[in-house]
Amino acid sequence: MLSARRISALRFAEDLVAMIAPAQQFNPAGTDRSAARRAADQLIEATRRNSAEYPVLMASHLPMLLEILFRLGASAQRLMDFAEFYSDANKVPLLAAGVAPFTRSDWQSGLGDRARESDYRLFFAGESHRLGGAAAIRVYVPQLARGIGASALHALMRLAYGVLRSDDAEIATALGYWAATWFPLRDEPNGPPDTDDPIALAAAMQKVAAFRNVVVETELLWHWMRAVGRKDEFAPLVGRLKVGSDVLDRVTRASLTLYASTLSFEGMHAMTGSYWVRLISPHLDDPGQLVRYFWQTILAVYPKIGMPTPLDDQELDALRALTVPPADEIAAAAVASNDEHHPSVVFTAFEEYARTGDPLYLVLAAKRVELIT
């Protein structure tokens, strides 16, 4: 049964949902939206001359951020300035020459080989042209799903924003990126699924000593995924999750809870990542497996933050009750920031708030850009 406070928070959300424009509609006074749209499209197209990663194996967020910043109201000048800043700061290299073309019969032979990024992009450009981007997702993502941790989930991110843009060229680039950085974790079920609660799997990890003694080479997310994902104790974990028609909603709520509870880098990727999965899911015949493998990657980085116990319902409702600034102020703060994660968190929060009416999303967006503490 819902508590009175929970009911009050939800009623507040219903009232507030009419007050906030969806993220796509931010239109600051004096901003030429047509010019901004052209600038975003041209700058995103230009990013396809470069690799999807920069040294050392860090994901370039630039193409996704340009789309997000546009949708949050950035001007053409701000988009150009941000692209220049990001390029100067990160020195994303040009796409390396290909090794050898892939065909439909052998395309899986190079999965996970970053040296084949150009070859994979060329292959998926052909497939997206032949099938259309949406159909290419339907055909190939089920085969890529187990390696969803590719580039610490950022191939998933690029694909999601390609879908949001209805951009077949970005979809092809993202599929090539995913294939070249494909990153499966151990998945060896030990019996039938026994829980429909994603958080229960995280709680089960707290009791396992092996997850408190993880040796990693660096603090990169995918290094943690690899170190945890190799463990015998991890191998059967995600097999316990029941995958039904509501699994994405359950994982989305769990991801929101994890981020609200920790405000951590890892929790942030859970919240934003569940949104990326949601964007892609309508193009899949069976999105459940993509959701399942997404949650597996989040479990693999849970030890990185010390496996804290998430907040309970009362604590989450206390956060929901916080007063947040107007949406346009939050959006403006994200647009003005050079932090590559501020816009992603804010945009995701606005989109998910518009879908669910849960004010916790707005609270987390305001916290991320430091408009509330």
Question: pLDDT class for 21, splitting at 50, 70, 90?
Answer: very low
Query: Is the Cα dihedral 224, 230, 231, 236 positive or negative?
Result: positive
DSSP string covering 52-67: SEETTTEEP-HHHHHH
Beta partners for residue 54, in sequence order: 58
% of the chain residues with pLDDT over 90: 90
Q: 3-class DSSP state for residue 185?
A: coil
The dihedral region occupied by 31, where left means phi > 0, alpha psi between -120 and 50, and beta the remainder, is beta
Residue 18 has pLDDT above 50, yes or no: no
Residue with tokens 């995103």: 44
Specify the DSSP element, H or E, that contains 172: helix 168-180
What is the value of pTM for the model shown?
0.93
Per DSSP, 241 falls in state B
Measuring CA to CA, which residue among 18, 7, 22 is closest to residue 352? 22
Burial class (CB in 10 A: 0-12, 13-18, 19+), 118: middle
Helices (H) and strands (E) in the chain, counts: 17, 2
Tokens for 103? 């065909």
* Strands 58-59, 53-54: pairing kind: antiparallel
Measuring CA to CA, which residue among 303, 204, 311, 297 is closest to residue 257? 311
- CA-based R_g, the chain, Å: 20
Tokens for 279? 């964007």
Question: pLDDT class for 20, splitting at 50, 70, 90?
Answer: very low
Distance CA 212, CA 233 (A): 12
Task: Give the mean model confidence (pLDDT) for residues 228-236.
Answer: 98
3-state percent helix, strand, coil for the chain, nearest multiple of 5:
65, 5, 35
Q: How many residues in the chain?
A: 373
Indicate the domain borders of the chain.
4-27+312-368, 33-90, 107-180, 198-305
Task: Give the mean model confidence (pLDDT) for residues 268-289.
Answer: 98
Question: pLDDT class for 219, splitting at 50, 70, 90?
Answer: confident
Q: Say which range, 20-34, 83-97, 130-144, 184-198, has the weakest mean pLDDT.
A: 20-34
Q: What is the mean pLDDT of the chain?
A: 93
% of the chain residues with pLDDT over 70: 93
Tens-digit pLDDT profile for residues 39-68: 999 999 999 999 999 998 899 999 999 999
Beta partners for residue 59, in sequence order: 53
Q: 3-class DSSP state for residue 274?
A: helix
Half-sphere exposure of residue 130: CA atoms within 13 angstroms, side-chain side? 10
Q: Give the Cα-Cα-Cα angle 70, 136, 59 (nearest 5 degrees).
A: 50
Distance CA 79, CA 139 (A): 34
Per DSSP, 183 falls in state B
Residue 195 has pLDDT above 50, yes or no: yes
φ/ψ (deg, to 5) at 236: -90, 0
Task: Give the mean model confidence (pLDDT) for residues 264-274.
Answer: 98
